[in-house]
């Protein structure tokens, strides 16, 4: 089997998970070259690496470069991305700098791997919430077109990064000990609280945040549905890993819960967990550390014609980021694009 030289830019929560996913899936990596702001010796996912300082020359000789930003991360791919492409490297970017760039495919391999066929050397990973939501929605949309979505997300702190994970743990310990709670990663206490703002306000969508806008524009691009209507509310919740989403769907024609369950049971990367009488439904604790998006609470939405409601949960660091990026590289190899 042909071997590939893989670069990784960033070794936070997502970067660490990318190393784990590459090893778990036996990706044919001849080399994993980790780049960060400064050179150093670092243990990443249990392995020792000589981290090199990021520079244009550091990308020379690589086949793939995976940029490992967390939610809303900007900057690294702006600085190095297209220069790396010019050096013959395929860039797969988890940040949001180029997701809506017409030159850049926005890809969830189970849904629109064909978008890779016309790549220009740069591919974008969608936002974690978009990935988790579209994994169950795309199979339904292919069967019966979706006209409108109302999405409420319950997003874990790992989407912000390691500092937020540490802060939730520290605040929980402080609360239990009756000590003063310190705030740093978020403007307010996150332990035992919910923060209904993720990202900055968008001028192009008055009243909506950047995270909420991504649900609209990224979904339209991935599904090829420019007229899709989406209203979303994105909330940070005191959960370490896995994002949850309550989704209300309006279809162009009827879709029964039974039809939806049958379609979703056959969808790759989706697991139906839907037996409410026996207490079976998707939960973050069950999705954390796993690759599948769990879907349940599938039921009619009688507030609208041709309506359906469901609840989806997926690990935002794995399928919402690291796994999806590695799957893009695998799909490109499989399709003979690298």
**Catalytic residue positions, numbered:** 128, 243
Question: CA 288 to CA 6: how far, in whole Å?
Answer: 26
Q: Centre a 10 Å sphere on the Cβ of residue 36 and count the other Cβ atoms it contains.
A: 19
Show Cβ contacts of residue 63 under 8 Å, excluding neighbours closer than 6 positions: 4, 5, 6, 89, 90, 338
The answer to whether the CB of 153 falls within 8 A of the CB of 232 is yes
Structure tokens that stand for 113 in this block: 């791997």
The answer to whether the CB of 69 falls within 8 A of the CB of 52 is no
Tell me how far CA of residue 56 lies from CA of 66, 150, 154, 186, in angstroms.
14, 42, 38, 33
Q: Is 125 helix (H, G, I), strand (E, B) or coil?
A: coil
Tell me how far CA of residue 198 lies from CA of 39, 121, 211, in angstroms.
32, 30, 6
Residue with tokens 């207490």: 279
Alpha-helical regions (H) of the chain: 13-24, 76-86, 109-112, 128-143, 162-177, 210-223, 257-265, 284-287, 323-334
Q: Centre a 10 Å sphere on the Cβ of residue 201 and count the other Cβ atoms it contains.
A: 13
């Amino acid at each position: 089997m042909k071997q590939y030289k893989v670069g990784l830019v960033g070794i936070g929560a997502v970067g660490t998970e990318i190393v784990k996913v590459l090893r778990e899936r036996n990706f044919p990596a001849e080399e994993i070259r980790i780049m960060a702001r400064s050179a150093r010796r670092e243990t990443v996912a249990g392995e020792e690496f000589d981290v090199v300082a990021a520079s244009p020359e550091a990308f020379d000789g690589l086949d793939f470069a995976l940029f490992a930003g967390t939610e809303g991360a900007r900057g690294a791919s702006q600085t190095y991305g297209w220069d790396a492409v010019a050096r013959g490297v395929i860039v797969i970017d988890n940040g949001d700098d180029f997701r809506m760039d017409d030159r850049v495919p926005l890809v969830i391999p189970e849904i629109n791997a064909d978008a890779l066929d016309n790549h220009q050397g740069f591919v974008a990973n969608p936002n974690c919430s978009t990935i988790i939501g579209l994994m169950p929605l795309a199979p339904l949309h292919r069967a019966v077109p979706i006209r409108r979505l109302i999405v409420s997300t319950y997003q874990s702190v790992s989407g912000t990064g390691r500092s937020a994970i540490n802060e939730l743990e520290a605040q929980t310990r402080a609360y239990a000990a009756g000590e003063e709670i310190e705030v740093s990663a978020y403007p307010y206490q996150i332990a035992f609280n919910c923060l209904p703002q993720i990202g900055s306000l968008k001028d192009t969508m008055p009243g909506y945040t950047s995270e909420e806008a991504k649900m609209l524009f990224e979904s339209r691009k991935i599904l090829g549905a420019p007229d899709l209507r989406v209203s979303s509310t994105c909330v940070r919740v005191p959960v370490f890993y896995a994002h949850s989403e309550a989704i209300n769907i309006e279809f162009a024609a009827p879709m029964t819960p039974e039809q939806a369950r049958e379609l979703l049971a056959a969808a790759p990367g989706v697991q139906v967990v839907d037996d409410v009488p026996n207490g079976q439904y998707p939960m973050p604790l069950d999705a954390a550390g796993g690759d599948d998006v769990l879907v349940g609470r599938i039921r009619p939405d009688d507030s609208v014609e041709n309506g359906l409601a469901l609840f989806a949960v997926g690990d935002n660091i794995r399928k919402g980021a690291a796994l999806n990026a590695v799957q893009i590289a695998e799909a490109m190899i499989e399709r003979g694009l690298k």
